[in-house]
Amino acid sequence: MILLRVSLLAMALDQVSKYLVVHYCRINESVMVLKDFLYLTYIQNPGAAFGFMANTQAIFRIPFFIAITLGAGLIVYAYQRFIPPEKKWTRFALGLIWGGAMGNFIDRVFYRKVVDFIDARYHQHQWYVFNVADSCITVGLVILFLGYWLEKPEPAKEGQ
């Protein structure tokens, strides 16, 4: 249930934030939130992270992303079935990842592009513009990584 609730919440936050940006901002408009650090810049990204496949024709790009998302969904579903109930952080992380993936998937299906708007900068150095879904995926992956990295190995049983 954790995975389902977290993924639905992540997807909803992503879609609501994108709705607000699309309806209240102009494309390529940039609004300063924190000077030299954070801006809201509305762009539409036809590709994936870092513009991957952005210049590929939609007839190839859209089916590719649909297949990748469905494949990732199957992997998350299969993987979560083997996670012990006490590993709540792992389920939480998978929920973030799946919710983020579904948020971007909805954009690709309905708009053929992903709405990005979080523009992090440090003075003249600018990062790629991203969205809530991308943030959920990244945070989920960090939680998974830290969980496995910090996990204490179980002591060996006698006779092994």
Contact 99, 146 (CB under 8 A): no
151 within domain boundaries: no
67 within domain boundaries: yes
39/59 Cα distance (integer angstroms): 33
Domain count, the chain: 1
157 within domain boundaries: no
Residues 25-47 have pLDDT tens digits of 999 999 999 998 999 999 998 87
* pLDDT value for 151: 78
Residue 158 pLDDT exceeds 70: no
> Any idea what DSSP says for residue 87?
-
107 within domain boundaries: yes
Which has more pLDDT, 76 or 100?
A: 100
Residues 40-89 have pLDDT tens digits of 999 998 877 666 777 778 788 888 888 888 898 888 888 888 888 889 99
Catalytic residue numbers, as ranges: 116, 134
Residue 160 pLDDT exceeds 60: no
153 within domain boundaries: no
34 within domain boundaries: yes
50 within domain boundaries: yes
160 within domain boundaries: no
Residue numbers of the domain that contains 45: 2-146
